[in-house]
Amino acid sequence: MLGHLKATMSPKRSVSHTTLPLRRSKRLKRTESTADSMPAVLQEFRSEGSPQKAKKSAEFFKTGLGQYGEGDRFLGINVPTSRTYATRMKQFSLPLIREHLLQSKYHEERLLGWLAVTEQFKEARKNKDEGQMGRINDLYMANTASVNNWDIVDTTADKILGVYLHDHTAQLAGADGFFATLSRLAVSPVVWERRIAIMATFHFIRMGLIAETLRLAEMLLSDGHDLIHKAVGWMLREAHKREPQAVEDFLEVHARDMPRTMLRYSVEKFAADRRKFLMELR
């Protein structure tokens, strides 16, 4: 399904930005206006950037040669500011957001686009607009290439894909109750798609359902990437809050095969003696 969706929504060429004003501007004060145009709001957004912050972000998100964020570019805009602008960007159509934001070479603009899409998804769900929810989920699955760092994954995977799958379990789950979509993502050669798979289960955990998290955690035991070790450990820790015995049983069986970081994240909030016992199984 993932390959089909990507094939039917082949990405357009990224928008070329000939100017990039990075001067400091006043904080955004006005509210969303239907008179806003995408270029105008985007120009305002870019004016929030800081070269100094951009440099720090590039270091923080590991953009050097051979690092997980290699080649990513930053404007130096913080997340609270991005969330503020997302309330204005959500008024625009999905094709406009895709063209101007999701395909951007700038990290913060891709994040802004997905924040706006997430807001649209929340509104569609509140209004029981199944058509719009489906279109947004399709957009997400066809554009995972722009969900390409851990912050963008963690901001969107559970709130779009996780919610959509949970709400449509009857139609989308297999006979075993699990989701082929998440299985395909979990074996992707792209680290961000594998992280999307496990992070999407955060919504299931919030609903008191941990089986999908345990299934994917087992699939990802031998994953070689530290960002997957951390994500799986985090989700197991969250699942433990819901069903502690089930998670501890899982860890007793798999602790010996788990990467140490994954296990350490999993047991971080356990009682000291129980944490010590499970860590020593490794």
The full length of the chain comes to: 282
Collapsed DSSP state (helix, strand, coil) of residue 119: helix
Which H helix or E strand runs over 110?
A: helix 107-126
Same structural domain for residues 231 and 199?
yes
Tell me the torsion sign for CA atoms 157, 180, 148, 94.
negative
- Which backbone phi and psi does 32 adopt, to 5 degrees? -55, 140
275 and 163 assigned to the same domain: yes
pLDDT at 15: 38
Looking at the domain assignment, is residue 213 inside a domain?
yes
Q: What is the model's pLDDT at position 2?
A: 43
Domain boundary among 134, 168, 192: 134
Chain mean position to CA 135? 18
**How far, in Å, CA of 128 to CA of 126, rounded?**
6
Domain-ending residue, one of 134, 167, 192: 134
143 within domain boundaries: no
**pLDDT mean by block of 10 residues, the chain; 282 residues:** 42 38 41 67 97 97 95 97 97 96 98 98 98 98 97 98 96 90 98 98 97 98 97 98 97 96 96 94 86
Asked if residue 17 lies in contact with residue 42, where contact means CB atoms within 8 angstroms, the answer is: no
Name the residue among 83, 84, 80, 77 with its Cα closest to residue 30.
84
In terms of residue numbers, what domain contains 114? 10-134
pLDDT of residue 175: 85
| Same structural domain, 188 and 124 | no
* Whole-number pLDDT of residue 66: 94
Q: What is the CATH classification number for the domain harbouring 213?
A: 1.25.10.90
Task: Determine, yes or no, domain membership for 26.
Answer: yes
Q: Is residue 66 part of a domain?
A: yes
Amino acid in position 59: E
Same domain, 112 and 162: no
Q: How far apart (Å, rounded) are the C-alpha atoms in residues 114 and 151?
A: 11
Same-domain status, 24 and 111: yes
For the entire predicted model, the pTM comes to 0.85
For residue 122, the model assigns a pLDDT of 98
Instruction: Evaluate whether residue 147 is within a structural domain.
Output: no
* Burial of residue 175, with CB atoms counted within 10 A of its CB: 0-12 exposed, 13-18 middle, 19 or more buried: exposed
Q: Considering its fold, how many domains does the chain have in total?
A: 2
Same domain, 99 and 177: no
The string of pLDDT tens digits covering residues 247-266 is 999 999 999 999 999 999 99
